[in-house]
Structure formats: structure tokens, C-alpha cells
Amino acid sequence: MKEVYLKSAGEIARITGGRLTAGSENQKISVISSDSRDLGSGALFIPLVGERFDGHNFLADLISEKKIAAALTSVEGFEEAAKKQGVTLIRCDDTLAALGRIGAAHRASLNTEIIGITGTNGKTTTKELLHTVLSGSFSAFKNEKNYNNEIGVPFSLLALSRLHEKGVVEMGMNHPGEIERLSRIVKPDLSLITNVGEGHLEFLGSLEGVAAAKSEILAGMKPGALLLVNGETLCFDLVARAAEEAGMKLKTYGAGEGFDYSPESYRLSREGIELQWKGSDFSVPLYGVHNVYNIMAVIAAASEMGLTSDEIKKSLAGVNNVDGRSQIMEMGYIVVNDTYNSNPLSSRFALRSVSEIFPERRKFAVLADMKELGETAPQCHRDIGREAADLNFDFLLVWGEMGKEYLEGAAGGSDALTALHFDTKQELIASLQSELVDGDVVLVKGSRSTRMEEVVKALEK
């Protein structure tokens, strides 16, 4: 990644807690990059270290060819070459932590009011919707794409400017401690937890572990700040207790009654969601019951930012869906393209939405593995297979290592469901193409690594 950053090497050393081991503290920096292939003039190169890569492997060549003005480094051995080439080196304890300090320092230098968003599902959609709504009344910032980790968030924050009045920053994680570190970088003025579900259980162990990890967003907030939480989420009591112990205010939202932000009513259709809130009718061109929660999250956050019902409604009426997330595709039969990712919570939402919106049509659930569920994976897949049967799907076509677990779960439900497991994705596609007729509805879903968009592309052809 790369971002414009105008500082001197001495300033960067002070911000990161590092020290100069070669070159001058007056060296001017104009851009920061972690990609040795994409640098630019006056570049500070940050060699990041991961499980399968180490940016330090490129540092010697960058110095010898004088492609960089300066570099952060956490290891020795480059000083003599740097001095010879006139390249400035800054030694730090950890290059990833140093990047985080740079992002945090830039964020702290500005007065932008930032909303932090995390949760098992709905983070990106809620971020995009909220940014659209805020942009209708303010100069608003967001982190682009899915740049929501310890690399993407600091780089994204460097794009913040004094012109930005409001900001929305999505924070993702796989392991405990990551959201805490991101929250301390972002220092959100208000935070929102979309939900707690069975995501990344391979690393978090249990739903309680997921709730604790999502609650880490409180770490960077000032005492007395507001946390918005989906009041219908699993482990709500654990999140509420964490907020109370941290001295935060808590407000809830949901699709049902009794929350601080609840719709009076809502209706799902293939064209979108009709929703009533505080006597005002909202029409939002988004598909699925999960988006009722995302919309209510946006209404809650935008209202807390001072926007009126009419301002929120106007912006939501013109939103677009995010690619790969519940896209409705008409091909004579209907394909619900939900291939961006998959976990038990998003799968339940996807199955429920198809069942509610297309009750009279013949329905196909085309599913692949849900990843990173650890020891709970077999049971999670059995639960979703049973859900497909209970929601009156006609066909369950599955592929992947956990395919037979889907079928075992489905066997405990309706006998009307035809459930089939395929050894290859190509066999699944061929069977699906031979069976589909006009008027059918096909839900296609799987974790990112299963590349289930290939099924959608095959149906398009």
C-alpha cells in the first residue's frame, strides 16, 4: 500500500519511537509505501513482516539502487549500504507497530469525528451506507474497499484531511488483540458493533471469545463515549457488560421492538426494503433481512451524528449494493449472488431472506465450506443444512470438505429437500445447469477461498 505523507525523517523517528542509524533527520519524505514495486519520489519504505513474507528481503536492493529516500527497519545490517547511498534509516522495534503509530499520530492531529465499526457480519455494508448518508450533509471519510486490518487502517487514516468533518472506519480481525490495537490507532468517538456470530472460531475458540474480541473496540474510546450495539445479537449481555465496565454509554438497535432504534415495521421484497421509522417511510434498494439490521445501524449512528430522519431517508434511497453481497441477478431464473464470504450467521440470514421473499418459488441452496470455524466446523455446517430443510428449500447442492456435514444436518429436516454432495465444483455446476428452469431461485454462497463466484459466472454464460 502507498499513501502521501509529508514529514521529515526526524519527525517520523519521534512519532514511531525509533532512532536514526543512517542519514539525516532533515531528509524530506513525501510518500510512505509498504510495496517495493510501488514507491514514488521521496519514499519512506516500511518493510512489513508476515507469515509468508518479509519486506526486509527487498531492502538491500532498494538501498543499492537508491529507489527510496528512507526506510523503517527493525533489523540490523543495512547501515553501511544506506550511508554509502545517502539513504536514511530509522530503527524501530516493530515495523507494523510503527506504521500504526504513524496512522494514530495523523488521526490525532485532526478534529474529524470518527465512527468505528466492527462485527462478525455487515461491517462493510454498514460502513458504505453510513458514509453515503453522512456525505449528504458533511465532508465524510471512509477506509476504502476492505482495508480494515493493521496495515489497511493506518494507511487509510493517512488520507484523512482537515476538510473531513466525519469519518467511518471499519475494523476487522482474525485474532484476539487486533481490534484493541486498531481502536487505539483510530480512537473512535462513537463505535458500532453490528453483531457477534460464529466467525474466526478457529482462532477465537467460542462465541464468548468472539464477543470479547469485538468488545475490544472500546479500548480506544474516551470514557462516556457511545457504543451502539445490535440488541438482537448473540452474546449481547457480554458486550453490554464490557461497555459498562469501560464506562461507556450504550444504545441498542434492531429489527424487532423495544430497542433505542427500532422500526415500526418493515417489508422485504426482491427490489428492496420498505421500512417505517418514527412515522417516516424509508425505501432502500437493498436485498435481504440482514440489511434491515444494517439500515437500522445506519439510522442509529446518523441520528447520533445529528442528522434528521428526512436527511437519512433521502440518502438511503439512492444507495447501491456492494459487489458479491446479496446481488439479485435475473436470468429467467433468479440468482442471489452472495459469494463474497460465508459464516453461519450470514448463511442463516441468506437462507431466511430467500425463504421469506420467494415463498412460492422452487428454491436452490448452493453452498460451499464456511472456513475458520475450528472444532465447531462440523456442527456449524450441520446446523445450516438443517436450516435449509426447515426453511423449505427444494434443493441443497454442496461442494467442499464439509459438504457431507451439510447433508447430515439436512437429513434431520423436511423429506421434501433433495440434498446432493459433489466431489468437484464443475460437477455441481453441471448438475445445477441441467436442473434449473425459469422461475427458480438459486442462492450461491461460500467462504472467499472457495471462489463460488465461479458458479455464478457459469450460470451467466
Instruction: Cite the residue boundaries of each domain of the chain with CATH code 3.90.190.20.
Output: 327-460
Going by the DSSP 8-state scheme, the letter that residue 8 receives in this structure is E
Question: Whole-angstrom Cα distance, residue 175 to residue 116?
Answer: 18
B/e letters for 62-84, b = 16+ CB within 10 Å, e = fewer, are bbeeebbbbbbbbeeebbeebee
On whether the CB atoms of residues 308 and 413 are closer than 8 A, the answer is no
Residue 53 has pLDDT above 90, yes or no: no
Residue pLDDT, tens place only, 233-281: 999 999 999 999 999 999 999 999 999 999 999 999 999 999 999 999 9
Q: Which CATH superfamily is domain 327-460 in?
A: Mur ligase, C-terminal domain (3.90.190.20)
In this structure, are residues 312 and 302 in contact, taking their beta carbons and an 8 Å threshold? yes
Q: Count, in order, helices (H) and strands (E) of the chain.
A: 17, 21
Q: Residue 236 phi/psi, 5° resolution?
A: -55, -40
Cα angle 81-85-90, degrees, rounded to a multiple of 5: 65
Per-residue confidence (pLDDT) for residue 50, from 0 to 100: 85
The CA radius of gyration of the chain, in Å to the nearest whole number, is: 24
State the average pLDDT over residues 180-188: 98
* 243: its cell numbers: 461497555
CATH superfamily of 2-99: MurE/MurF, N-terminal domain (3.40.1390.10)
Mean pLDDT, all residues of the chain = 94
* CB atoms inside a 10 Å sphere around CB 50: 9
- What's the rounded Cα separation, in Å, for the pair 28 and 43? 9
Predicted confidence at residue 324, as pLDDT, reads 65
Range ranked top by mean pLDDT from 4-8, 221-225, 317-321: 221-225
Note the pLDDT of residue 369: 95
Q: How confident is the model at residue 323 (pLDDT cuts 50, 70, 90)?
A: low
pTM of the model: 0.92
Give strand ranges (E) for 356-432: 363-367, 395-399, 418-422
Render pLDDT for 103-160 as a digit per residue (tens, 0 to 9).
999 999 999 999 999 999 999 999 999 999 999 999 999 998 889 999 999 999 999 9
Angle at 108 between CA 29 and CA 131, to 5 degrees: 100
pLDDT given at position 10: 96
pLDDT of residue 412: 82
pLDDT score at 203: 83
Give the residue range(s) of CATH 3.40.1390.10 domains in the chain.
2-99
What are the grid coordinates assigned to 107, written together? 488521526
DSSP state of 173: -
**Which residue spans of the chain are classified as CATH 3.40.1190.10?**
110-316
Residue 186: CA atoms inside 13 Å, Cβ hemisphere, count?
39
CATH number of 110-316: 3.40.1190.10
